[in-house]
Chain A
Amino acid sequence: MIVEKPRSSTAHPNGQAWETIRDAFLGSWDARGALESRTALVDRIVTTTYETLLGPVSGQGVAVLAVGGFGRRELFPFSDVDLLLLVESQPSRELRPALSAYQQRLWDSGLRLSHSVRTVGECTELHDSNIELNISLLDQRFLIGSRPLYEKLLARLPKFVQGERQALRRHLCRLVRGRHAKHHDTIYHLEPNIKEAPGGLRDLHLLLWLDKLHTGEVEAPYGYLEMEPARRFLYPLRCWLHYRAGRDDNLLSFDAQEEIIERPLLPLERPEQWMREYFRHVRAVHSAAARALDTVESQGSSLLAGFRDWRSRLSNADFTVSRERIFFRASQQLENDPEVALRLFQFVARHNLRLAPDTHRRIGQYLPGLVEYFSRGRSPLWPALREMLGLPYASLALRAMHETGVLHAVFPEWRLIDCCVVRDFHHRYTVDEHSLLAVETLEQLKTVREGPRLRFAQLLAEIEDPAPLRFALLFHDIGKGTEEPSHVAGSLVAADRATERIRMPESNREMVRFLIDRHLDLSAAMSGRDLDDPATAAFLAERLGTLERLKHLALLTYADISAVNPTAMSPWRLEQLWRVYLVAYRELTRELETERIEVAPGSPEMEGFLKGLPTRYLRTHTPSEIEAHLELDRRRREIGIAVDIRKQDGVYQLTVLCKDRLFLFASLAGSLSSFGMNILKAEAFTNQQGTILDTFAFSDPARTLELNPTELDRLHQTIERVSLGRVAVKELLKNRPWPETPGKRSRIEPAVSFDNEASATATLVELVAQDRPGLLYDMASAFSEAGCNIEVVLVDTEAHRAIDVFYVTHGSGKLDPSQMDSLRERLRLACLP
Chain B
Amino acid sequence: MKKIEAIIQPHKLEEVKEALKNIGIDGMTVTEVRGHGRQKGHKEVYRGQEYMVDLLPKVKLEMVVPAGRVDEVVRTLVSSARTGKIGDGKIFLFEVAEAIRIRNDDRGEAAL
Contact = CB atoms under 8 A, between A and B. Distances in A.
B99 to A, nearest CB: 26
Contact of B45 (A527, A532, A753): A753
A619 interface: no
Nearest to A579: B57
B93 interface: no
A530 B11 contact: yes
B45 A576 contact: no
Interface stretch (B20-28, B47-55, B65-73, B101-109): B47-55
A528 B14 contact: yes
A766 B14 contact: no
Contacts of A801: 47
Contacts of A17: none
A573 B58 CA distance: 10
Question: Which residue, of B13, B44, B48, B83, has the highest number of chain A Cβ atoms within 10 A?
Answer: B48
Contacts of A579: 57
Interface size class of A (residues with CB under 8 A): 20 to 34
B34 to A, nearest CB: 6
B48 A575 contact: no
Interface in A566-605: 570-573, 575-576, 579, 582, 585
A766 B44 CA distance: 14
A572 B33 contact: yes
B68 to A, nearest CB: 33
Interface residues of B, dominant DSSP: mixed
Interface in A699-752: 751
A751 B11 contact: no
A30 to B, nearest CB: 37
A341 interface: no
B9 interface: yes
B34 A572 contact: yes
Interface string A781-808: 0000000000000000000010100000
A552 B43 CA distance: 26
Contacts, number: 44
A526 interface: yes
A449 interface: no
A82 B10 CA distance: 53
A530 B83 contact: yes
A575 B85 contact: no
Interface in A500-547: 526-532
Contacts of B34: 571-572, 575
Given A530-B9, A572-B34, A753 B14 contact: no
A371 interface: no
Contacts of A531: 11
Contacts of A570: 32
Interface string B82-106: 0101010000000000000000000
A527 B8 CA distance: 12
A569 to B, nearest CB: 12
A566 to B, nearest CB: 16
Contacts of B49: 751, 768
Contact of B48 (A528, A576, A585, A753): A753
B11 A529 contact: yes
Interface core residue of A527, A585, A803 (most chain B CB under 10 Å): A527
Contacts of A527: 10-11, 13
A526 B11 CA distance: 7
A575 B55 contact: yes
A637 B20 CA distance: 66
B47 A803 contact: yes
Most buried by B among A526, A576, A753, A766: A576
Nearest to A455: B46
A768 B45 CA distance: 12
Contacts of A530: 9, 11, 83
Nearest to A528: B11
Nearest to A526: B10
Contacts of B56: 575
Given A530-B83, A585-B46, A768-B48, 20 more contacts: A526-B10, A527-B10, A527-B11, A529-B11, A530-B9, A530-B11, A531-B11, A571-B34, A572-B34, A573-B57, A575-B34, A575-B57, A576-B10, A579-B57, A582-B44, A582-B46, A766-B47, A767-B48, A768-B49, A801-B47
Interface of B: 9-11, 13-14, 32-34, 44-49, 55-57, 83, 85, 87
Interface of A: 526-532, 570-573, 575-576, 579, 582, 585, 751, 753, 766-768, 801, 803
25 contacts: A527-B11, A528-B14, A529-B11, A530-B11, A530-B83, A531-B11, A532-B85, A532-B87, A571-B34, A572-B34, A573-B32, A575-B56, A575-B57, A576-B57, A582-B44, A582-B46, A585-B46, A751-B48, A753-B45, A753-B48, A766-B47, A767-B48, A801-B47, A803-B47, A803-B48
